[in-house]
């Protein structure tokens, strides 16, 4: 099974939470159109897409990645760090129940899925404004029986760990080493973002391609030079809400 879970853009998207970028006006209709094309990209790459309806009163809820961490044998339902986002987990919990056993992060633990980088049985959590040590301790407790080890990673100048580093394949990471220390990822091959594209470290491997924003052509060229097939998407309106390509879907493989 190849399934992606997405959620439509809220009509209140302009009220999104922001941490590291300045607020600029968002054209919600353009954001919705870009999101629809992102969903189509997932379908083009062979994924069935469970498209959840927009949550009118949850401005950030298009960013479903922050509500859960999908592992092969279990799914972790998060407790998002921003209070306005905590209700987003309710509908995601219902959507995931048919596909995974579920475990839950409880207060005072907070974690956004965008801070969670899964590399095999090792899970790295960015110690950000949204994710804390209590959540990491709970992840070790709740996921340890499945063979996973979770550790915190210091980062800076960006919202989430996966703003700074994402998985390209089993042995390769795309990284902005100015925002996270490469020593955390010894043994992996690293592809550096182009210096002029600091936000270019977020990529989404799907099927035989990588969904990647057209806004970062130099970093895209680096990925193609390494032999990767790129599925380009336009997400600049979504990026005004500190969103990126991993943020807008939950990938469920079995």
| Residue positions annotated with a catalytic role | 160, 247
Q: Considering only CA atoms, which of 95, 106, 114, 115 is closest in space to residue 48? A: 95
Task: Give me the half-sphere count of Cα atoms (radius 13 Å) on the Cβ side of residue 93.
Answer: 12
C-alpha 143/C-alpha 55 separation (Å) is: 29
- 203 and 210 in contact (C-beta within 8 Å)? yes
Residues 89, 94, 97, 100, Cα dihedral to 10°: -30
C-alpha 7/C-alpha 93 separation (Å) is: 13
Helix (H), strand (E) at residue 206: strand 204-206
């Amino acid at each position: 099974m190849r399934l992606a879970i997405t959620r439509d853009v809220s009509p209140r998207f302009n009220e999104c939470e922001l941490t590291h970028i300045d607020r600029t006006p968002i054209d919600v209709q353009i954001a919705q159109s870009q999101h629809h094309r992102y969903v189509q990209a997932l379908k083009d790459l062979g994924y069935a897409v469970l498209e959840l309806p927009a949550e009118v009163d949850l401005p950030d809820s298009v960013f479903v990645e922050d509500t859960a961490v999908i592992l092969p044998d279990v799914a972790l339902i998060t407790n998002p760090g921003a209070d306005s986002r905590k209700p987003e987990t309710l509908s995601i919990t219902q959507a995931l129940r048919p596909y995974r056993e579920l475990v839950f992060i409880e207060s005072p633990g907070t974690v956004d899925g965008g801070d969670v980088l899964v590399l095999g049985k090792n899970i790295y959590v960015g110690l950000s404004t949204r994710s804390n040590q209590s959540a990491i301790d709970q992840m070790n407790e709740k996921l340890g029986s499945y063979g996973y080890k979770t550790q915190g990673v210091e980062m800076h100048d960006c919202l989430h760990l996966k703003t700074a580093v994402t998985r390209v394949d089993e042995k390769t990471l795309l990284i902005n080493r100015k925002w996270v220390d490469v020593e955390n990822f010894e043994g992996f091959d690293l592809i550096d973002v182009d210096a002029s594209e600091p936000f270019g470290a977020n990529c989404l491997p799907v099927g035989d391609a990588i969904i990647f924003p057209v806004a970062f052509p130099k970093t895209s060229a680096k990925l193609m030079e390494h032999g990767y097939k790129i599925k380009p998407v336009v997400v600049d309106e979504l990026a005004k809400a500190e969103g990126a390509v991993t943020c807008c879907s939950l990938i469920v493989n079995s």
